[in-house]
Structure 1
């Protein structure tokens, strides 16, 4: 097998969510890019919001790396997108070792899996609020829990005062764990959030200035030269997209793209284009109809529940969608699936009429979190994907199904093999799922 040498990299991780990891990631991306480096970003796990922020910070597209959903060939192929860059920065998800109980394609979905496979040392972002020398004990546990995990050191976050910093550093000096920087507590350096995570990059009112502020903050308080010097990587096999991903579902795909429909995985879109498919974007919120010459329409996930009234009034979009469904396939993922149904009940309890192409009524007034990896075997064709096709994906939403009157689209199980009630559904040429497709499965 031919081997591929990657630029040196680091994985930016944390003990848990909410530590300021994304702020550090964006600040590092922009600061190092401003210093003249070509920095390739990645995101560990099935997040579809953070990669857009990464791209805004450094000008290069960010790709997801997921050890539960992706086999070795796909991981290597995606990591190969770093070729030509000077440095790799990958952002972890949740806590560094957090994953599911049973492994999937190459691991259990933990960020540590990616760090080990790629040889990227972990730079741990520690929220040191409410502790001093004890912070070193936390870092020591993360550094030594897995002896095969490369570990670079820490960035201290939310430091209360110079005295606080001195006390914390004393604990780290005793253990010999490098401290790359200490960030003072600042309440203004936060990104707005909503129920699925960060507010989307395209919705941020002053994103570029916010990222520039993060970069200035990191430059003032972090040793960027030391960060760069700590980066490492391992040689990887030359993976192939085509082996691990399903074929494009159609040749010419009309893809909804706006603030209500933006949850798409960059690696899938790139694979479809490389395989010869053409993706034609349109905006339902701008009341645009899908391309009349498209072979299929794809409605991604997003936040249609925040725009339900606008979508219900978008007659050009809805009429075009219904016309298309009369002769050619239409598919919706998560939020897109909800729009294909008869009605969507918003958070306030108001029902909005949707496309009516599936016998589905969903509600955000009755919120229940659905979160986790999914293995699905199609029970009916999904456009060009044949019945029997096995897929790996992820589900994350707060929607309750009030009615579902169509045949199930897939047999769906979670990461531990337990059956999942949200099977998706199909009627004629119209299909929909609550899980987001990530890769093919065996």
Structure 2
């Protein structure tokens, strides 16, 4: 199968917090302003940044995860997602070489790994606040750290002014490192954060902010120079695999919850399900909508149900609609936030308990928040809508909720990225399943 790819690049950074999310959004907005069609991607399992990318690019953003997804599938996904696009723009994760601890290999699943696999050049974002020539030393170190990763250009972020830039640029010129832009400090760029990262795009008035970003980045970035750095991916040693071989759909008519409480859905799963002939039927629990009564599967993704627990507790049409389908043995699966809502009760950060659907025996609480974070390699303990007993899934866990109790039969055996065994996860009662794991690939 011959796949077609537009040229692309990866926006990376020296560390988390350097501004790569803002820079990525600014570049997407500026490219759109230029009349081009950018295709956004996000490195790793992040659930929130893709929503912002999607608004800026007006195209779905897809996660590219080298830990969870096989290289042939990544190759096919990039091609499928990029149809009709002029340039691919992938945002990195953490610092360029930062990854997970996988049996002593701490850099696995890093932005650098994606750059090495795809062959996309790296555009490195450096936060120059409080420094001058040291920024060039950081760029030089990153450019020479791995021979299979090409740092093709640099964007300076949080530049104090023309004098500050004049003190920085000569060092880059001496090193022969291409600086394609210098972004000034601007308070209006900042995106509010919450305990899982950025505030969701669906909660913000993004149109005005994206317009400001397009204005500033169109002036501050040499778009022609940036586009000249972009390259078509090489995907070394990665044959193509039809996306249809990715995880199959849980049904032919899948009711998927989609609103501010349930927004963490991976677009590659929806694309794969549609490619396999499934129909996706969105509904909003927050609007007290029941899933389509003709659905043969219900999917409750993650999100922020704890922020809307009172409304969900009183969404009686939603609760009754899901219960009716469960009584008919229609498969119903909840991920993270969806798992909490399928449980019996959810205690919010103020200590107030809210009655949830009661289809699983789980009690969860935010009264004592604890971070649970990391990749998970899970194996089904019995046949269910997610596959046959023994089916393995790669996924990701990221939440602050505490599981107070769950007396239902466990859904998964679980190991972390380094293959150390963890406690079993989730539960299953009849056709209803759920766990804290966001499933990425089977």
Indicate whether the TM-score tops 0.5: yes
Mapped partners of 2:199, 2:73: distance in 1:
29
Shift of residue 422, structure 1, vs aligned partner: 5.5
Aligned-pair CA distance for 1:5? 4.2
Match of 1:379 among 361, 376, 381: 381
Distance 1:153 1:168 in 2: 15
Residue in 1 aligned with 2:294?
A: 293
Counterpart contact for 1:346–1:364, Cα < 8 Å: yes
Spell out, residue by residue over 1:137-184, the C-alpha distance to the aligned partner (whole angstroms, 9 max, x if none). 111111110011111121111112322111111221221111111111
- Give a deviation string over 1:372-398, Cα, whole Å, max 9, x none: 111111002332522211111111100
Any runs of at least 4 consecutive aligned residues in structure 1 with deviations exceeding 4 A, and if so which?
Answer: none
Where 1:344 maps in the other structure, the secondary structure is strand
Structure 1 counterpart of 2:51: 52
- 1:19 aligns to 2:21 (yes or no): no
Q: Deviations over 1:350-386 (max 9, x none)?
A: 1111111111110111111111111111002332522
Q: Which residue of 2 aligns with 1:270?
A: 271
1:289 is paired with a residue whose SS is coil
- Counterpart in 2 of 1:38? 37
**Structure 1 CA distance, aligned partners of 2:423 and 2:277?**
35
Q: TM-score, normalised by structure 2?
A: 0.95
Greater Cα shift, 306-315 or 159-168 = 159-168
Cα distance between partner residues in 1 of 2:140 and 2:270: 40
Does the CA-based 8 Å contact 1:250-1:384 persist in structure 2?
no
| Cα pair 2:12 2:92 within 8 Å, conserved | yes
Range 402-411 or range 34-43, more displaced: 34-43
Question: 5+ residue gaps in structure 2?
Answer: none
Listed as ranges, the gaps of 5+ residues in structure 1 are none
Q: 1:103 to 1:416 in 2, by over 3 A?
A: closer
Asked whether the equivalents of residues 331 and 382 of structure 1 are also in contact (C-alpha less than 8 Å), the reply is no
Residue number in structure 2 paired with 1:322: 323
1:128 aligns with 2:128: yes
**Partners of 1:280 and 1:408 in 2: how far apart?**
29
Partner Cα separation in structure 2 for residue 83 and residue 310 of structure 1: 40
Compute the TM-score of the two structures, normalised by the length of structure 1. 0.95
Cα distance in 2, alignment partners of residues 377 and 238 from structure 1: 26
**Conserved 8 A contact 1:375-1:415:** yes
Distance 2:267 2:38 in 1: 17
Q: How many Å separate the matches in 2 of 1:279 and 1:410?
A: 26
8 Å CA contact 2:36, 2:86 repeated in 1: yes
Between the aligned partners of 1:422 and 1:225, the Cα distance in structure 2 is: 52
Which residue does 1:247 correspond to in 2?
A: 248
Match of 1:430 in 2: 432
Alpha-carbon distance in structure 1 between the residues aligned to 2:206 and 2:383: 41
Q: Is the 8 A contact 1:5 1:235 kept in 2?
A: no
Give distance in 2, aligned partners of 1:274 and 1:321.
26
Measured against aligned partners, the alpha-carbon deviations of 1:311-343 in whole angstroms (never above 9, x if no partner) come to: 001111111111211122211000000001110
Cα RMSD over matched residues?
1.5
User: CA separation of 1:103/1:84 partners in 2, compared to 1, >3 Å: closer, same or farther?
Assistant: farther
- Give the one of 404, 407, 411 matched to 1:405: 407
Find the aligned partners of 2:249 and 2:257 in 1 and give their Cα distance: 16
Give the distance between the partners of 1:153 and 1:426, measured in 2 at CA.
Answer: 50
Q: Which residue of 2 aligns with 1:350?
A: 352
Cα 1:218–1:70 shift into 2, 3 Å:
same
State the SS of the aligned residue for 1:371: strand
Q: Residues 16-415 of structure 1 correspond to what in structure 2 (within 5 A)?
A: 16-80=15-79, 81-102=81-102, 108-204=108-204, 206-236=205-235, 237-243=239-245, 245-327=246-328, 328-383=330-385, 385-415=387-417
Deviation at 1:235, TM superposition (A): 3.8
